[in-house]
Amino acid sequence: RAGEDGRPLPANTDNQYREAIAAALSRTIDKMGGPDRRILLIGGEVLTPCKKYEPEIRRLSIAPPPDCAPPTLAEVRTQTAPWNETFRSIKALYPDKVTTLFPEDYLCPNVCEVMNGDLWLFRDTGHLTVMGSELLGARAEDTLVSFLLGKPATSVGGNLR
């Protein structure tokens, strides 16, 4: 929904908000997406039930606290589906310009890991730690390099080790 000036009207629902964002992204791609431009859309956040813990506490505890059970891939896909579908629809409109990267494809083999060994991957419910970012980047390397080089990605999901 847009006003006469093309600006999105205030959203009253999550769907209206996603529609407004999709419309804004499309306008941005139309105006700024020249022949040499590529856009990377990163899908919905992988949300974990982990509450924010102070760094000192994290260093003392190797195991995740009881309220930090890793969500399953199915749970995360349900949660991220609305945004991921929005980004897939934008990619369908601009297949040569837009690349999508969905974090759960790289962080969630069957469950979404909250730790790798004794290192935390999330600093709170939806933000990765440096280790989490490095792991996502390593696993998504093919997609990221292909995006930067302007070539189609040869794999999705990376090496979920």
pLDDT > 90 fraction of the chain, expressed in percent and rounded: 42
pLDDT at residue 42 in the model: 93
State the pLDDT confidence band at 156, using cuts at 50, 70 and 90: low
- At 10 the pLDDT is 66
Mean pLDDT in residue range 4-16: 71
Which of 139, 133, 113, 137 lies closest to 48 in space, CA to CA?
113
Higher pLDDT pick, 117 / 25: 25
59 vs 4, more confident? 4
pLDDT above 70 for 15: yes
Q: What is the length of the chain? A: 161
Nearest C-alpha neighbor of 84 from the set 134, 18, 33? 18
Chain position carrying tokens 């419309």: 23
> 34 pLDDT band (50/70/90 cuts)?
confident
What is the chain's mean pLDDT, rounded? Answer: 81
Query: Tokens representing 140?
Result: 């998504």
Task: Give the residue with greater pLDDT, 7 vs 157.
Answer: 7
Confidence band of 56 (pLDDT split at 50, 70, 90) = very low
Query: Encoding tokens for residue 42?
Result: 């990163």
